[in-house]
Structure 1
Amino acid sequence: MLRVGIIGTGGIADAHINGYLAFPGECEIVALADVVAGKAAQKAETFELAAAAFDDPLAMIASGLVDLVSVATPPSTHAALAIAALDAGIDVLVEKPMAPSLEECDAMLAAQERSGRVLSVVAQNRFRDDLATLKDVVDSGLLGSISHVRVDSAWWRGLPYYDLWWRGTWEKEGGGCTLNHAIHHIDLLLWLLGSPTEITAMLANAQHDNAEVEDLSVAVFRYDRGLAQLTSSVVHHGQEQAIVIQGANARVSQPFSVVAERARADGFPEQGGDPEVVARIEALVADRTPLAHLGHEGQIGDLLGAIRDGRSPIAGGHDGRNAVEVVTAIYKAGFERQFVSLPISASDPYYRAGQLVANAPHFFEKKASLIEAAS
């Protein structure tokens, strides 16, 4: 029975708590920690957990009470807490983004290597049936070579969203919607297609004059002969996320649909398309076995299995780092108005912790700093 501790008891901690509670035969939540005095105890009471409450996360790590911790704190604290836990012999699940810089990500991976423990980075959308379906179709080869991918990480947040003390600043949040919202779609793009070779981007703050960070970015990725484009936003009414993958043989998208064209003798599309290609893709989808556990619960179940079986988790530390590398490239491209080649080397100034904060534009200045978000 794994003893679980959760560091950070804000809203996202609820998803972790519910995820662990779904596996009562494999783990037990025994400790909660938060730097805000009394907050951990309040969360334990809310969920009726017989768990120790700590106002110092490092004290919980040093207590010897836990075998596995979830780090659900602001991004700027992820590296220090994860490294402390790994060096104490504790397995770690860290919320997205893994860390604000590649230097910090690599320090976390080094701690994992020297400790021999498991490090997983939250990528809960890999544990959604609709997105796992896209992955199966891409991996099947039925689409043919990929021509173009359009990813819309489209969200909407009002001005009060950035009043919370750690949001809306480059130093504490690490970035805006590109890092803290689109990181999930970036992970999915990497999961589906692998890493691009080159990135360019533009950034803006279109609607939030109480935040330093961007609330909108548009990036273009080069993949071999094809291209991908990513819109990251917290200004889109309707919050309609989408992934559209265009291959040589067909298009598949989420929300799920499949379309395949077939050429006439003159090259124009034939009426009715190519029903045989569509039928093969739809048959593949129909034969899928639905995932037993979804979202955070699915990822936690995979992590528990990885610890038990001595294997790597589906979303490991290197996956988290790869997503941060893409975000770093988007920010560098946007700040410097250039094309950025991947991978980013350790000699690149943007690799280092603090470099992004030093170079980032302040679109506006933060106007409020609330300890708790308004309800």
Structure 2
Amino acid sequence: MINAAVVGTGNISNEHIGGLLAFPDRCKIVALVDIYPEKAQAVKEKYGLHHAQVFDSHEKMLKSGLDIHLVHVCTPPSAHAGIAVHCMDAGKNVLVEKPMAPSLKECDAMLEAEKRNGVTMGCIAQNRFRNSIYKLKKMADSHLAGKIRCAHVNSLWWRGHSYYDLWWRGTWEKEGGGPTLNHAVHHIDMINWIQGGLPVEVTSMLANVMHDNSEVEDLSFAALRYRDGSVALVTSSVVHHGEEQGITLQCENGKLAAPWSAAAETSQENGFPVEGHNKELMEQLNAACDAIPDLQYEGHTGEIDNVLHALENKSRPLITGEDGRKTVELITAIYKAGFQKRTVALPITSDDDYYTLEGIQKNAVHFYEKTGCVENFTASDITVGNYVDDK
């Protein structure tokens, strides 16, 4: 039985708690932590976690002597590294919400703590455990449509003006960035996973077009070039009504997309497409996708199942700290390119100004200055992505 603790009981903690509760024979929640302990207490009562202890700091939890094997870090991004390192130094395995941390220096400190203590760290990128994304990866790896030549990655969300009223949101210091870091982190992990690595150069444009109570961007466009010459366009937004999210892969012989769709063309002598498409290849692509079995568990529950399996079998989770770091590295490159208004090269090394949070903050563009905030929102529903397969 794996004893789990959840540090940070805001909105996203519900996804973690729900995932843990899906496996009552394999794990149990023994601790809930929040700087506002009344929030943790409310979560305890909501889910009937009668045996869970409530703490107002992770330090008190660690000093309590409570037997804990896995700590879920669900706090604002600026606190991820400190909490994760403290927990790993105490011999605990950790599962860190996205983004892994706001800077590469913090990511490396987390990876060093994992290695130093012989523990396991996983990073949340739960959309790898969505059927649409999982099957897209399988289809891309099959090469039925040929090599990827161009990808369009749409991380399109909508958040009202009040979203950035929360005290830690909309600041470079506490949130670490806007939708490029905190929303497109999902999609950037997806394209890294599908492509099998990072691009070699990045160009970007950052803007804040709808949220004058936020220092950070609410919209960015990034163009990526890979070593094999393929390219990608990533849009990161919290201003898009409808929240249509997805990835389209234009391959040598056909198009693959999530939500699932496939298309293929053949050429006339003059280079224009033959009327009616390449129906034979499209039928092959659709049949191959249909033949891929659905995942047993999706989203956070799927990833938590994978992490529990890794701990039970002394193996590595699908999404490791190294994966989390790659995502942060690409996001950092997007910010660097946008701030400096030029194309930048990867990797970002430890002597780069943008390797540290202080360097990012020193160079960050403040679109607006945040002058007011609220300490907490009342409990309400949140959206965690729109990936409806309309096939």
TM-score normalized by the length of structure 1: 0.98
1:62–1:88: 8 Å Cα contact kept in structure 2? no
Indicate the SS of the match to 1:200: strand
1:79–1:99: 8 Å Cα contact kept in structure 2? yes
- 1:242 counterpart (246, 256, 265): 246
Give the structure 1 partner of residue 65 of structure 2: 64
Distance 1:63 1:249 in 2: 59
1:196–1:342: 8 Å Cα contact kept in structure 2? yes
- 2:221 counterpart (209, 212, 218): 218
Distance 2:288 2:307 in 1: 27
1:78–1:98: 8 Å Cα contact kept in structure 2? yes
Distance 1:153 1:353 in 2: 24
Distance 1:321 1:222 in 2: 19
Indicate the SS of the match to 2:37: coil
2:102–2:357: 8 Å Cα contact kept in structure 1? yes
Give the structure 1 partner of residue 56 of structure 2: 55
Letter paired with 1:11: N
1:105 matched to 2:107 = yes
Letter paired with 1:55: D
1:338 matched to 2:342 = yes
Distance 2:241 2:73 in 1: 31
Distance 2:372 2:161 in 1: 10
Distance 2:240 2:327 in 1: 23
1:371 matched to 2:372 = no
- 1:86 counterpart (85, 88, 94): 88
Distance 2:63 2:201 in 1: 43
Give the structure 1 partner of residue 289 of structure 2: 285
Give the structure 2 partner of residue 141 of structure 1: 143
Give the structure 2 partner of residue 190 of structure 1: 192
2:183–2:236: 8 Å Cα contact kept in structure 1? yes
Give the superposition deviation at 1:143.
Answer: 1.7
Give the structure 2 partner of residue 175 of structure 1: 177
Give the structure 2 partner of residue 10 of structure 1: 10
Letter paired with 1:126: R
Where do residues 185-334 of structure 1 align in structure 2 (5 Å cutoff)? 185-193=187-195, 194-223=197-226, 224-334=228-338
Distance 1:323 1:117 in 2: 21
2:189–2:323: 8 Å Cα contact kept in structure 1? yes
Give the superposition deviation at 1:301.
Answer: 0.2
Unaligned runs of 5+ in 2: 381-391
Indicate the SS of the match to 1:171: coil
Percent identity between matched residues is 50
Letter paired with 1:348: D
**Residue-pair matches, total:** 375
Distance 1:267 1:363 in 2: 46
1:221–1:228: 8 Å Cα contact kept in structure 2? yes
Indicate the SS of the match to 1:201: strand
Give the superposition deviation at 1:58.
Answer: 1.2
Letter paired with 1:353: L
1:150–1:245: 8 Å Cα contact kept in structure 2? yes
- 1:162 counterpart (164, 169, 181): 164
Distance 2:91 2:143 in 1: 41
Deviations 1:27-58 (A, max 9, x none): 00010001113221221111110200001111
Give the structure 1 partner of residue 44 of structure 2: 44
Letter paired with 1:279: E
Give the superposition deviation at 1:212.
Answer: 0.3
Letter paired with 1:252: L
Unaligned runs of 5+ in 1: none
Where do residues 121-136 of structure 1 align in structure 2 (5 Å cutoff)? 121-136=123-138
Letter paired with 1:62: K
Distance 2:279 2:91 in 1: 55
1:25 matched to 2:28 = no
Letter paired with 1:17: I
1:163–1:373: 8 Å Cα contact kept in structure 2? no
1:77 matched to 2:68 = no
Distance 1:369 1:64 in 2: 37
Distance 1:4 1:62 in 2: 16
**Aligned-CA RMSD value:** 1.0
Indicate the SS of the match to 1:61: helix
Distance 1:241 1:369 in 2: 29
Give the superposition deviation at 1:8.
Answer: 0.2
Give the superposition deviation at 1:266.
Answer: 2.7
Give the superposition deviation at 1:276.
Answer: 2.2
2:37–2:54: 8 Å Cα contact kept in structure 1? no
Distance 1:59 1:218 in 2: 42
Give the superposition deviation at 1:343.
Answer: 1.1
Distance 1:16 1:24 in 2: 13
Letter paired with 1:171: E
Distance 1:37 1:31 in 2: 12
Deviations 1:123-161 (A, max 9, x none): 000000011110011000112122211111111111110
Distance 1:143 1:116 in 2: 41
Distance 2:94 2:30 in 1: 15
Deviates more, 1:57-66 or 1:86-95: 57-66
